[in-house]
Amino acid sequence: MLQFKFSDHNIECGTDEAGRGCLAGPVTAAAIILPEGFELELLNDSKQLSEKIREKLKPLIESKAVCFSVTHLEPKIIDQINILNASINAMQQCITKLLPIPHYIIVDGNRFKPINDIPYSTIIKGDSKYMSIAAASVLAKTHRDEYMNRIHEEFPMYNWKQNKGYPTIEHREAIRKYGTTKYHRMSFRLLPEQLKLDF
């Protein structure tokens, strides 16, 4: 059973990201503030939900939210600052777009950096414990999937519509055959036999 809030603060936001382990495409974050009394059947950690249910939940979450925001951070930035920093940066950007300004932030996972002096807590498996993090996880995943479906049209040979940029055998075979695109993360190990470079 998901809990509504973690803190005693009036305005609490939840944040999460999607796409950290992908070889291509952005890392996408969402942040959301839910209204008092919010209830939504089927809401859970997005990884526990089918694509069909996530797509059904997305407009319901967006219409019921007090406010929400979504941020995509491109592969170029991921390569510059690394995926952990990019994930945190994307979540921070989302939080700065929220109105009203949250009084407290709850973050899925165990890493975050302060933003605008707002107190926060990191919660491991927070997306299966708190409604706002679960809602943020659904928005991050569905918005990222939409992005990958769009760029699939540009480079259909990688089948991003299906694999969403994750390191599937099919995706890696396509990289081996066709090389990389502007959407690939060049700092990632794109092929299994690739040597890790020491910078």
| Domain assignments of the chain as residue spans, ordered by start | 12-144
Class of the 12-144 domain? Answer: alpha beta
**Is the pTM value of this prediction over 0.85?**
yes
* Residue range 140-154: mean pLDDT, rounded: 98
Q: Dump pLDDT digits (tens) for 52-85.
A: 999 999 999 999 999 999 999 999 999 999 999 9
Question: How buried is 9 (Cβ within 10 angstroms: 0-12 exposed, 13-18 middle, 19+ buried)?
Answer: middle
Query: So what's the pLDDT on residue 155?
Result: 98
- Provide the CA 85 distance to its chain's centre, in angstroms: 13
158 or 193: which leads in pLDDT: 158
Query: So what's the pLDDT on residue 47?
Result: 82
